[in-house]
C-alpha cells in the first residue's frame, strides 16, 4: 500500500497554509480536498478581514495566533503581491453604557500585544469618519482587508512547488490507527475508493473536523454551527466610510456584531449576524426579510443607510466549539498523543480569526511535529 509521511485533510486557507509550511520540511505530503478546488467552504465565505487580535482572552490561542498571524499575513502579502489594504478600523460606542466596554476592549487589545490601539473622542471619530455616528471609538491601525482567493492560490502554488501533492475530489471516508501511523480510505470523484498509509494525519477539515476525528475513534469534540449572513449595500454608499466600522461586540464573543466591511473594490457589506443551526439545516440561503434586522442594527452607527439599499449577499458558517450560552471557546490545535493517537493532529473550532491566524497556526503545527 502507498505510504506518505504527512496527510492534511482539507484545502481551506488553514490546510493550505499548513501544507505550504510543512513542504519546507521535505517530507512527502498529501493534501486531500473533497471539492474540485481549494477554498470552497468557510475560507471563501467570510469578511476577508485581517484582524488585529483585540477581542480574544489573554493567553488564548486565538489571541496569540491572531496577533502573530496578522504580522505574518502582511509580510506574505507584501512579499508576494497578494492584494490587501491596511484599511484600519473603528469600534464605535454609540451610548454612554458602551464606553466602559470600549475601554475594556482597549485594555484587552493592549494585553494581547495589539500594536497602536487608540481610544478616540467623538470629535476625533468625526474627523476620521464624518458619516459615522458615535460618542467615542477604539481605532485599530493594524486591521486590514485581503483578497483571500489570491492568498489561497499563492499558498496552493507554493505548497505544490515545495513538493506537496494536492488531490482534489478526494473525500476522506475512514481512518484506522495502525502500527506506525494511520490507514485512510478515500473516495474519489469517479466513485472509486483508494487506501494509503500516512505516518501523520493533520485534520484541517473545518466544518467537518469533529466528524473526521470521530472516524479515527476520538469522541471528544462537537462543533456547534453558527451561520452568519451578509447584506450588500447599494447606491455607492461604500464611499461614505473610509475604514471598517464595528459596533461593540456581543457578550461572550459569539460574533463581533453586525459590522460594515469594505472589500478591495470599495463595496460596502453588512454582517455577519449569528444564528446557530443544526447539521441538517446547513446551507447558505439568506432570507431577504432579514434586511429589516440588518438595517436596524446598522443605522445606529451608519445613519446614511436606508432599508432599500440592502440586498442579500453571501453567508458563511462558523465551526464553533462554543454553544449559544457557553463561555468563549478557544481554537484546538493539538496532537492527540494523550488520547492514544500519536501523529494525529487536530485543528478544531477554527472560526474567526482563523483566516488571519492561518500562517501562525501553520507554524504551530510545524512545531508540534
What residues line the site for ligand FAD (CB under 6 A)? 9-15, 32-35, 40-43, 45-49, 51, 171-172, 204-208, 212, 228, 272, 316-318, 350-356
**Shortest distance (Å) from residue 324 CB to ligand FAD:** 16
Q: Which is nearer to ligand FAD, 62 or 108 (CB)?
A: 62
**Shortest distance (Å) from residue 136 CB to ligand FAD:** 24
Q: Which is nearer to ligand FAD, 149 or 237 (CB)?
A: 149
**Shortest distance (Å) from residue 262 CB to ligand FAD:** 12
**Shortest distance (Å) from residue 195 CB to ligand FAD:** 14
**Shortest distance (Å) from residue 131 CB to ligand FAD:** 22
Three-state secondary structure along the chain? CCEEEEEEECCCHHHHHHHHHHHCCCCCEEEECCCCCCCCCHHHCCCCEECCCCCCCCCCHHHHHHHHHHHHHHHHHHHHCCCEECCCEEEEECCHHHHHHHHHHHHHHHHCCCCCCEEEEHHHHHHHCCCCCCCEEEEECCCEEECHHHHHHHHHHHHHHCCCEEECCCEEEEEEEECCEEEEEEECCCCCEEEEEEEEEEECCHHHHHHHHHHHCCCCCCCEEEEEEEEEECCCHHHHCCCEEECCCCHHHCCCCCEEEECCCCCEEEECCCEEECHHHCCCCCCHHHHHHHHHHHHCCCCCCCHHHEEEEEEEEEEECCCCCCCCCCCEEEECCCCCCCCEEEEECCCCCHHHHHHHHHHHHHHHC
Q: Which is nearer to ligand FAD, 123 or 219 (CB)?
A: 219
**Shortest distance (Å) from residue 127 CB to ligand FAD:** 26
Q: Which is nearer to ligand FAD, 179 or 278 (CB)?
A: 278
Q: Which is nearer to ligand FAD, 136 or 184 (CB)?
A: 184
The CA-CA-CA angle for residues 47, 13, 173, to 5°, reads: 120
**Shortest distance (Å) from residue 62 CB to ligand FAD:** 10
Q: What number of residues does the chain have? A: 369
| Three cell numbers written together for 306 | 436606508
Q: Which is nearer to ligand FAD, 34 or 136 (CB)?
A: 34
Q: Under a CB-based contact definition with an 8 Å cutoff, are residues 287 and 193 in contact?
A: no
Q: Which is nearer to ligand FAD, 90 or 136 (CB)?
A: 90
Q: Which is nearer to ligand FAD, 28 or 275 (CB)?
A: 275
**Shortest distance (Å) from residue 361 CB to ligand FAD:** 8
| Three cell numbers written together for 361 | 497556526
Amino acid at each position: 500500500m502507498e505510504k506518505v509521511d504527512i496527510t492534511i485533510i482539507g484545502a481551506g486557507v488553514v490546510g493550505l497554509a499548513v501544507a505550504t509550511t510543512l513542504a519546507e520540511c521535505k517530507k512527502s505530503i498529501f493534501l486531500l480536498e473533497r471539492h474540485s478546488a481549494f477554498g470552497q467552504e468557510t475560507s471563501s465565505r467570510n469578511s476577508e478581514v485581517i484582524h488585529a487580535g483585540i477581542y480574544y482572552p489573554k493567553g488564548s490561542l486565538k489571541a496569540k495566533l491572531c496577533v502573530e498571524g496578522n504580522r505574518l499575513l502582511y509580510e506574505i502579502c507584501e512579499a508576494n503581491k497578494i492584494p490587501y489594504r491596511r484599511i484600519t478600523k473603528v469600534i464605535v460606542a454609540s451610548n454612554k453604557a458602551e464606553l466602559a466596554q470600549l475601554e475594556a476592549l482597549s485594555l484587552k487589545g493592549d494585553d494581547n500585544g495589539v500594536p497602536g490601539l487608540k481610544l478616540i473622542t467623538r470629535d476625533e471619530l468625526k474627523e476620521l469618519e464624518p458619516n459615522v455616528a458615535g460618542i467615542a471609538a477604539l481605532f485599530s491601525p493594524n486591521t486590514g482587508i485581503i483578497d483571500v482567493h489570491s492568498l489561497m492560490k499563492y499558498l496552493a502554488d507554493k505548497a505544490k512547488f515545495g513538493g506537496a501533492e494536492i488531490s482534489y475530489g478526494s473525500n476522506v471516508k475512514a481512518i484506522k490507527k495502525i502500527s506506525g501511523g494511520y490507514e485512510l480510505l478515500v473516495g474519489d470523484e469517479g466513485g472509486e475508493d483508494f487506501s494509503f498509509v500516512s505516518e501523520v494525519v493533520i485534520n484541517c477539515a473545518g466544518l467537518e473536523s469533529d466528524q473526521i476525528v470521530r472516524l479515527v475513534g476520538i469522541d471528544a469534540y462537537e462543533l456547534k454551527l453558527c451561520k452568519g449572513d451578509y447584506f450588500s449595500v447599494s447606491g455607492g454608499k461604500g464611499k461614505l466610510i473610509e475604514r471598517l466600522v464595528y459596533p461593540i461586540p456581543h457578550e461572550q464573543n459569539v460574533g463581533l456584531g453586525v459590522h460594515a466591511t469594505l472589500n478591495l473594490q470599495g463595496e460596502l457589506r453588512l454582517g455577519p449576524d449569528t444564528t446557530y443551526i443544526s447539521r441538517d439545516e446547513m446551507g447558505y440561503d439568506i432570507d431577504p426579510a432579514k434586511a429589516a434586522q440588518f438595517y436596524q442594527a446598522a443605522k445606529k452607527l451608519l445613519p446614511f443607510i436606508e432599508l432599500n439599499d440592502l440586498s442579500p449577499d453571501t453567508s458563511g458558517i462558523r465551526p464553533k466549539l462554543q454553544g449559544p450560552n457557553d463561555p468563549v471557546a478557544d481554537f484546538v490545535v493539538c496532537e492527540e498523543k494523550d488520547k492514544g493517537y500519536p501523529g494525529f493532529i487536530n485543528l478544531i473550532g477554527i472560526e474567526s480569526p482563523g483566516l488571519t491566524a492561518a500562517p501562525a497556526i501553520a507554524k504551530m503545527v510545524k512545531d508540534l511535529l
